[in-house]
Structure 1
Amino acid sequence: MPPREGGTPPPPGRGNDELRLYGWNAVQALFASRPQALRKLYLVEALIPRMQPVLKWCVANRVGYRVVEEGDLNKLAATTHHEGVVADVLRAPMLELGEWLQALPAGKPVLALWLDGVGNPHNFGAILRSAAHFGVAGLLLPPGATLALSGAAARVAEGGAEAVPLVRLPAVPQAMSQLREAGFGLAATLVDGGSDLFASEVPARLVYVMGAEGEGMDRELAQACDQQVSIPGTGAVESLNVASATAVLLSHWYARQSR
């Protein structure tokens, strides 16, 4: 074990291909699925016993790690919600739509999410967590989308970020055409005006198209989908937020496939 070092470690130069993760489950999921992506690890002394497998891997593979104070981690993560561990890692590569479609299992039910304007990192993290729980095969991001995995989103996802790949879509007409050729139906999710979700049949291969947190989905995009669905409720509130709505939508599809 290296000696404790005083002072805040300087942040390494991180480009677009690197990400600063924090939170126990986020770092553990990264280590379980892509240990070779780990570039530097920072942790508090109290976590050394629990982190032994990771630390031994770091030593064997010449990946640096440092035992630091809680306050140092607060600065590195820019939050107190780091749970005692911070890691600099390589981002998972984003897939192209054709590449993702080719890798899907033939003849099997597949669920995906098309995120049209979702931008809040905490909502994104919550969506990733629900997506991992219900077995979503990919998050599809439209052309020009600025959404990318952040440390905050990965922490909220509680490990789900490593389970669900991000997929880059081509132009909307081409993306829809490719998805339909692969047997997918597209369901626009509307705050109101769509068919009752719980009375709707959903195909085994389905893409739910989710709108932005504030303004909702682009109406032209919604009309271009094969069906439009809404989640019924009491009306006591205007709507669910996008992350909560996603969990309801995914559970509906999952339950239908589990019959």
Structure 2
Amino acid sequence: MSKPDWVIGVHAVQALLEQHPEQVIELNIQQVKKLPDRLVKLTELAHQYGVRVSYPDKAFFRDIAGVHQGVLAKVKPITAAGEKELAGFLQGLNHAPLLLILDGVTDPHNLGACLRTADAAGVDAVIIPKDKSAGLNTTVRKVACGAAETMPLFSVTNLARTLKLVQELGIWIVGTAGESEQTVYDVELSGAIALVMGAEGKGMRRLTREYCDYLVNIPMAGTVSSLNVSVATGVCLFEAVRQRRLKQKSSME
């Protein structure tokens, strides 16, 4: 049986209780003389869904990594699906897919932020390689603020093989590269698209780049040469959202 995971921090735990209370095994709130209102709300949510609440002392939280804010939820582990499930998932969609592929994002904060952004942009699924990638740990789940529980995530052994599968299903692959001559605003993103974001600092791997149908960049007007991968992901995904909404609006007129 898999060991339970932990979700820490007020916002992450509240989002989890509101969206997926069945994932929470137990809620731990640091013992204080009087609970602040935000923690009272958490206990009420927990009781509403039949989640056990404990009030351990400060020592209980001493070895917890990250900013826990005196809130720690024991939760059921999340297991990412694999390559075998991906094809069936994509074939089951009844609209043009919007996918996010993260090629070697190893910082759990960035992975969590990308999952949160993907959820907000309406991405159908996020794909990561099993090697050279952050996993679904406590930090990822905290930063994702509930998106780690809602966003379909596929962890694949061979990313190149997965990219080939994606193309065979009629999905165009758009990779991000600073040296590209065309910007993210120059290409068509309203159809079936898989957006590939490279690793922090190094960008996409060579083989990943070779599978891309298009390469795009984000135009930079200042002195910095690149954006954090989670910020860049947000820029690109919401450009796709903008184009899709315009296409949908024009089709209705």
Query: TM-score category by the smaller chain?
Result: 0.7 to 0.9
| Alignment check: 8 A CA contact 1:26 1:159 kept | yes
Q: Please give the alpha-carbon distance, in whole angstroms, between the structure 2 residues aligned to 1:196 and 1:49.
A: 45
The one-letter code matched in structure 2 to 1:48 is V
Q: Please give the alpha-carbon distance, in whole angstroms, between the structure 2 residues aligned to 1:106 and 1:160.
A: 20
How many residues align structurally? 239
Question: Which runs of structure 1 show a deviation greater than 4 angstroms over 4 or more consecutive aligned residues?
Answer: none
Decide which of 87, 102, 109 is 2:88's aligned counterpart: 102
Q: Please give the alpha-carbon distance, in whole angstroms, between the structure 1 residues aligned to 2:19 and 2:120.
A: 16
Q: Please give the alpha-carbon distance, in whole angstroms, between the structure 2 residues aligned to 1:73 and 1:208.
A: 42
| Alignment check: 8 A CA contact 2:46 2:53 kept | no
Q: Please give the alpha-carbon distance, in whole angstroms, between the structure 1 residues aligned to 2:99 and 2:172.
A: 10
Give the alignment's TM-score, normalised by structure 2: 0.84
Q: Could you tell which deviates more after superposition, 82-91 or 204-213?
A: 82-91
State the partner residue of 1:190: 177
* C-alpha deviation, 1:37, in angstroms: 2.7
| Alignment check: 8 A CA contact 1:73 1:86 kept | no
Q: Could you tell which deviates more after superposition, 235-244 or 141-150?
A: 141-150
| Alignment check: 8 A CA contact 1:118 1:147 kept | yes
State the partner residue of 1:57: 49
| Alignment check: 8 A CA contact 1:188 1:228 kept | yes
* C-alpha deviation, 1:22, in angstroms: 0.8
Decide which of 225, 230, 249 is 1:243's aligned counterpart: 230
Give the alignment's TM-score, normalised by structure 1: 0.82
Instruction: Point out where structure 1 has 5 or more consecutive residues left out of the alignment.
Output: 1-14
Q: How large is the Cα RMSD of the aligned pairs? A: 2.3
Provide, for residues 118-171 of structure 1, a one-character-per-residue CA deviation record: whole Å limited to 9, x for no partner: 011211121122111101122101242442122222222222222212102242
Task: Go from structure 1 to structure 2 and tell me whether the alpha carbon gap of 1:49 and 1:185 turns closer, same or farther (over 3 Å shift).
Answer: closer
State the partner residue of 2:143: 156
Provide, for residues 81-112 of structure 1, a one-character-per-residue CA deviation record: whole Å limited to 9, x for no partner: 22332111112221123424423453413211
Task: Go from structure 1 to structure 2 and tell me whether the alpha carbon gap of 1:106 and 1:117 turns closer, same or farther (over 3 Å shift).
Answer: closer
* C-alpha deviation, 1:73, in angstroms: 6.0
The one-letter code matched in structure 1 to 2:243 is R
Matches within 5 A, 1:217-232: 217-232=204-219
